[in-house]
């Protein structure tokens, strides 16, 4: 299944409708109407229900709380109306080449270019590189390499005063990378750093390949639009129970975790964006990834994300991107 475009996320939430070849979205809050038939919408909702089973907390509450049925109804409606396509990412142990998608390791650098540096001349390190040919989402580039670089310091390049200032982080796009560049050539450009203390700051330990899969994402409780989305629906359909239902509604929704491109973000604390922000697309998200030995760790098991405006994404302009990470 090939998914189509994500909705313009300047609206509060959307209705998603699937056809066999593409996904179209109509604005619930706007004046657009859904043109696909109900059977197609129902097939899509069956798919969503398989992916988003009701949490045990809801099932337990149904036995003791008559209001739980309303919570379940609201949850299902919101999941349906906010569904958008995304690319889910998984780390692999396959050694990636210089031009492959990867987390950590050595990234592509043109013959005549330097490894990105901050204003003090300190080199950044490659957080992730994406081979855009593996992205099937509309509005994203489908060729070239998209890179995310960050400073290896005690805040992993985060700028608390201006999270769009590309000094201690960098987002680079190479539409047509030069395939004659070698990994050995790039390695020779890397400044020698033997500080063990410095190494400990970088969130990625090692280098990993990435496996891509098409998926559907629904609004996360940490997204800044979540409260307004819930409030509007609850007050519209359940006015008498609104306050009681709103009190703990976020307990019944996903937190947006995981590695992904597109979809809805997750945060350990809160969304740095607001309703006035124009960075409406989740460009890339890298979560902490821990097993028997940690592979990715943002502070105290946090999560990192990058956001971009959709129109700038369409034109492959990556000069204005929010970089954020937080932890518990």
> Per-residue pLDDT tens for 26-85?
223 332 233 334 343 334 444 454 545 545 444 444 444 556 777 788 888 888 989 999
Closest CA to 236 of 81, 4, 121, 64: 81
CA–CA dist 180, 199 (Å, integer): 30
pTM attached to this predicted model: 0.79
Concatenating the DSSP letter of every residue in 129-166 gives EEEGGG---TTS-SSSEEEEEE--STTTT--SS-TT-T
Taking only the tens place, the pLDDT of each residue in 234-274 is 888 878 777 777 777 777 888 999 999 999 999 999 999 99
Top pLDDT among 122 and 292 is at 122
| 7-11, 58-62, 126-130: segment of lowest average pLDDT | 7-11
Task: Dihedral sign for Cα 288, 318, 215, 12, please.
Answer: positive
pLDDT at 126 over 90: yes
Side-chain half-sphere CA neighbours of 283 within 13 A: 31
Class of the domain covering 87-214+272-326: mainly beta
Q: Which of 140-144, 226-230, 273-277 has the highest mean pLDDT?
A: 140-144
pLDDT at 189 over 90: yes
pLDDT at 181 over 60: yes
Top pLDDT among 193 and 172 is at 172
Please give the span between the terminal C-alpha atoms of the chain, in angstroms, as a whole number. Answer: 37
Segments of the chain assigned to CATH 2.30.320.10: 87-214+272-326
CA–CA dist 99, 116 (Å, integer): 17
pLDDT given for residue 105 in this prediction: 97
Mean pLDDT of the chain: 81
Beta bridge partners of 84: 217
In this prediction, residues 85-91 reach a mean pLDDT of 97
Top pLDDT among 193 and 42 is at 193
Residue 24: how many CB atoms within 10 A of its CB?
16
Helix (H, G, I), strand (E, B) or coil at 72: helix
């Amino acid at each position: 299944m090939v998914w189509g475009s994500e909705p313009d996320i300047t609206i509060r939430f959307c209705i998603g409708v699937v056809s066999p070849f593409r996904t179209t979205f109509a604005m619930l809050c706007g004046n657009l109407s859904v043109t696909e038939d109900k059977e197609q919408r129902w097939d899509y909702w069956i798919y969503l229900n398989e992916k988003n089973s009701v949490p045990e907390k809801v099932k337990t509450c149904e036995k003791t709380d008559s209001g739980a049925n309303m919570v379940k109804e609201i949850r299902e409606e919101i999941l349906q109306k906010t569904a958008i396509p995304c690319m889910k990412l998984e780390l692999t142990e396959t050694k990636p080449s210089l031009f492959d998608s990867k987390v950590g390791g050595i990234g592509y650098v043109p013959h005549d270019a330097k490894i990105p540096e901050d204003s003090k001349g300190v080199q950044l390190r490659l957080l992730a590189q994406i081979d855009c040919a593996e992205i099937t989402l509309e509005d994203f580039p489908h060729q070239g390499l998209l890179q995310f670089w960050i400073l290896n310091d005690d805040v992993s390049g985060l700028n608390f005063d201006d999270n769009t200032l590309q000094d201690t982080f960098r987002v680079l796009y190479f539409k047509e990378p030069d395939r004659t560049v070698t990994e050995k050539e790039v390695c020779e450009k890397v400044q020698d750093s033997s500080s063990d203390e410095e190494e400990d700051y970088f969130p990625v330990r090692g280098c990993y390949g990435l496996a891509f899969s098409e998926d559907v994402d629904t609004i996360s409780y940490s997204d800044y639009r979540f409260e307004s989305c819930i409030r509007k629906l609850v007050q519209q359909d359940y006015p008498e129970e609104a306050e009681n239902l709103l009190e703990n509604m976020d307990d019944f929704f996903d937190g947006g975790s995981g590695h992904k491109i597109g979809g809805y973000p997750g945060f350990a604390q809160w969304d740095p964006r607001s309703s006035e922000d124009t960075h409406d697309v989740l460009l890339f998200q890298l979560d902490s990834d821990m097993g028997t030995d940690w592979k990715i760790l943002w502070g105290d098991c946090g999560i990192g994300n990058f956001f971009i405006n959709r129109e700038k994404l369409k034109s492959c302009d990556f000069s204005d991107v929010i970089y954020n990470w937080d932890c518990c």
